[in-house]
Structure 1
Amino acid sequence: MALLPLVDPNEFVGLEGITHLCSGGESPWLKRQHTAYDLFSSLKSASYSGRNTIYEHGESCRRKIGQLWKAPANRIGFLPSAAEGMNYLARGIDWQPGDN
């Protein structure tokens, strides 16, 4: 039985001729991310008006995630990385001596 990739390798930048096994902070870039990144970089350079648009995109995303999860948008938060999320989670646990 052949294993099929979750995402077609042709949708990534720079995978020609290599097998990429790294999935952490060095994962390959999706071609479709170019549009979002280009927009973000333009907005980031546009001072206050750009910042306001970035925040509007974030709030729109919060509302959509809230609808998907049936939760109020103000209860949805985004962190800069998975590692940061794990740090928040670990600090929120009431660790006791002997916990592993």
Structure 2
Amino acid sequence: MSIYVGNLSYDVTQEDLSQVFAEYGTVKRVQLPTDRETGRPRGFGFVEMETDAEETAAIEALDGAEWMGRDLKVNKAKPREDRGPSGGGNRRPSGGFSRRY
């Protein structure tokens, strides 16, 4: 399981985030997704820790804490939903009308 960390400063680095979470245990991995077009961080990240107990301690300590001028949102990450194919090929007609044949 991993931890979702939201409302991050756009200046944060993986090293910064790793150091903060290391106070609560062993950090296995840090991910900071970036925007495909600009390459800038998207304002959130994910942290994986060694044990569930360490994750729980970090979440309890850091959720709502101010860091780098922002109030962090920290909780257990939810599994990523399968959004299906992009392009909208499986959408229903707009307006709520159904086709009659």
- Normalised to the residue count of structure 1, the TM-score between the two structures is 0.26
More helix by percentage: 1
